[in-house]
Structures are given as structure tokens and as C-alpha cells.
Amino acid sequence: MAGKSRRKRKEQTEYFFDYSLLFIVLFLLGFGLVMIYSASSYTAFQDYDGDSGHFMKRQLLAIIMGLVMMIVVANIDYHFWQRFYALGYVVSVVSILMVLTPLGIESHKARRWFRIPGTNLQVQPAEIAKLCMILFLAVMVCKLGKNIRSMKGFMLMVAIPLPIAIMIWQITDNLSSALIVMAISVLMVFVASPDYKKFVIMGLAGLAAAAGVVFIAVQTNGEGSFRFGRIVAWLNPESQAQDTGFQTLQGLYAIGSGGIWGKGLGQSMQKLKFLPESQNDMIFSIICEELGLFGAIAVILMFIMLIWRMMIIANNASDLFGAMLVVGVIGHIAVQAILNIAVVTNTIPNTGISLPFISYGGSSVMFLLIEIGLVLSVARRIQLREM
């Protein structure tokens, strides 16, 4: 008994902090600032009275604000947010409807932002919705428990984010963000439910629906919908070289001209107003052009490492709620990164979506950092016992 008592006194409880995850995030943010400056300096110099660092400085401000919020969220017990899951759903709806008010901001023929009253800050409600849906769905998984394995529970989890996704699609005209919201839901249910037959059926149905849409777009030659036009341009970008396929072709030219090692940092030709949105949706093309295949693979490996670290945290989380929060963040970052790279390489039709932590976009990087704060909060509650 005395020996056991001594062993218990020697036992120490420590809490885990994932410095590797933090380093990867900071690296991606720093790399993103460098690439934003490289991709946008020429355009910014011409459009903003010689201020070549315009976009980089705005992104840096958003990153600083995001890091502050990340630190605050990381130091709050993640269970604190559990009570606000219903409020988060309401906030998602209200924020999307805000774009229809006088505070809504139109850009590139779409109203996807609104201005916070009394400030010059612009917020994209789709980013708010992604974060709120992760929280809401994590709580729902815990509430449903084993019932999530039933068809009713499965359909409920898929139906919950559907109104938000439809609102994002129809009101803000942002189909890619709507798909990401649904993908987050499907991934969280996939992890929580061991029955994979439903997902196989859903996947096959999704492929059949996608094939049907492509067939209709080809038959109508892209007429009747600009998204049909994008599908036609995806299949044959040369046929739409001066219209819908222009951005895709310029992005492919950038990727092809970079070769294995690239032209060198700052040496891109496509950023000289040949490639639209070079600092935003198409920044991966500039990475490929300036840093080559080597740089592109390095960026992809960094995202793989980021997801791997979060998977370790989810696997060792102290409870189901924490694990589901991390799974939701994994789904958001992984799907968004995959879609962006797929669009840039013309693997899927063109759709406006940014590369996490790297593309220019204040709302995106701030809410991503809040999500990383949640992940770090979950990680800090993992107990490490040493003898």
C-alpha cells in the first residue's frame, strides 16, 4: 500500500499544447503575406496611388485581429460555447440577411459582404455561418448520441445546415461556401456514425446529379446559366478563352510556366493584370509560377501536416463535443483547400473560393483563426499523465 501511495504522489498531470499546430498556422500566415504582396504589388501600385503593399497591409491587420481572437478563444474552455449553439444558428441567418440591407456591399456582381455599422470593417456572412454550423452540429452530435446511426438521425444532421446552405447560395450567390457548409455536416456525421452505406449511396447520388448537370450544360452549350457556362469552359477552356475560360487559362499558363523550381519569388508574369484575382482565389497559380512544382508540393504538405495534427487532437480529445469541434474545423479547412487547388488546376469547374490562410481575405482568415483557437482550446484540455 505504501508503494502504491508513493507512485500516486509521483504521478503528475500535465496539459497538452500543440506547438506544432501553432507553428504550421503561423508559417502559412507568414507565407501567405509574402505571396499576397508578390501577387498584388503591381496591381496595388497602379490602383492605389503607388501603394504596392495595400493588400498585404490590409491582410496583416486582419491577421493581427484574428490572432488576438485566436488567443482569447484558445484560453476559454471550449465547453463555454456549447450553450450558445442555438444562438449561433440564429446569428448565421441574421448575418446572411444583412447583405440585403443598406449595409450590404456588392462586388463582382454579387452581394457577399456587409459593413459593420460605424466602422469600415467588411464581413462575409458565409464565414460566420461556417463557424456557427461547426458549433451547432457538434452539439447536435452529442445530443443525438447513438440515435445518429439511425436514418432519422442521419437525415436530421444533413437537414439542419440545409437552410443555411440554401441561403448562402441564393442570397449571397456563393455556391462554393454553401457546398462547404454541407460538406462539413457530412464529414461530422461520417465520423460520428459507423454505418458507411448511407455515405456510399449519398456519394453515388451526388456523382449522378453532377453528371446530369454536366450533361445539361453541354447540351445547352452553357446558355441559360453562368454556372453552365463555367462547366463548358471547364471542359474546353480554349473555346471560352476571351470570356468564361479566361481566368482558368491564365492560371494554367502560370502553372505550366513555373516548371519544377519556378521563375523565382516576385518574378511572375501573370500577376501583371493577366490573371484576375491573382492575390485571392488564384494565388496558388502564382505560387506554382514563382516557386514551381516544388513550392506547390511544399504548400500541400503543410496543409496535410496541419490536418494530421488536428486529427491527433480530435482522436485524443477529452470528450465527444471537443472531438466533433475539431472534426468540423478539419472538414472546413480540408474541403476548402482541396476545392481551391482543384479549381486552379482545372480539375473542377471554376468557382470563387480562397486558399485557407494564404489567399487575400480578411473575413476568411479571421474566422479560420477563431476555429484554430477552438482546436487549441480542445488540445489544452487533453491530459498527459507521467509517472
pLDDT one-digit tens code per residue, 51-88: 888 899 999 999 999 999 999 999 999 999 999 999 99
> DSSP character for 14?
E
Q: Round to whole Å and give the CA distance between 103 and 117.
A: 8
85 and 139 Cβ atoms separated by less than 8 Å = yes
pLDDT at 9: 43
Q: Round to whole Å and give the CA distance between 310 and 319.
A: 15
Q: Closest Cα partner for 376 from 312, 332, 299?
A: 312
pLDDT at 90: 93
Q: Round to whole Å and give the CA distance between 65 and 54.
A: 17
pLDDT at 10: 42
User: Which percentage of the chain shows pLDDT scores above 90?
Assistant: 43
> DSSP character for 387?
-
How many angstroms separate the Cα of 110 from the Cα of each of 99, 107, 170, 171, 294?
10, 5, 11, 9, 36
Which amino acid is located at 355 in the chain?
L
* Number of residues written out for the chain: 387
> DSSP character for 355?
P
Average pLDDT over the chain, rounded to an integer: 86
Q: Closest Cα partner for 329 from 317, 345, 341?
A: 317
In the structure grid, which three cell numbers stand for residue 297, read together?
508540393
Residue 161 reports pLDDT greater than 50: yes
Task: Give me Rg for the CA atoms of the chain.
Answer: 22
Residue 306 reports pLDDT greater than 90: yes
| Chain segment 325-336, per-residue pLDDT in tens | 999 999 999 999
> DSSP character for 78?
G
pLDDT at 108: 66
In the structure grid, which three cell numbers stand for residue 342, read together?
482543384
Which amino acid is located at 106 in the chain?
E
pLDDT at 156: 87
Backbone torsion region of residue 150, taken as left when φ is above 0, otherwise alpha when ψ lies between -120 and 50, otherwise beta? beta
Place of cell 516557386: 291
| Chain segment 2-61, per-residue pLDDT in tens | 445 444 444 445 667 788 999 999 999 999 999 999 999 888 888 888 888 889 999 999
| Chain segment 77-126, per-residue pLDDT in tens | 999 999 999 999 999 999 999 988 888 887 766 778 888 877 777 888 99
350 and 248 Cβ atoms separated by less than 8 Å = yes
Q: Round to whole Å and give the CA distance between 67 and 50.
A: 29
Out of 85-94, 270-279, 317-326, least confident range? 270-279
Q: Which residues contact 338 (CB under 8 A, 6 or more apart)?
A: none
In the structure grid, which three cell numbers stand for residue 336, read together?
476548402
pLDDT at 2: 46
pLDDT at 14: 60
pLDDT at 387: 37
pLDDT classification of 247: cutoffs 50, 70, 90: confident
Q: Round to whole Å and give the CA distance between 372 and 132.
A: 14
372 and 135 Cβ atoms separated by less than 8 Å = no
180 and 172 Cβ atoms separated by less than 8 Å = no
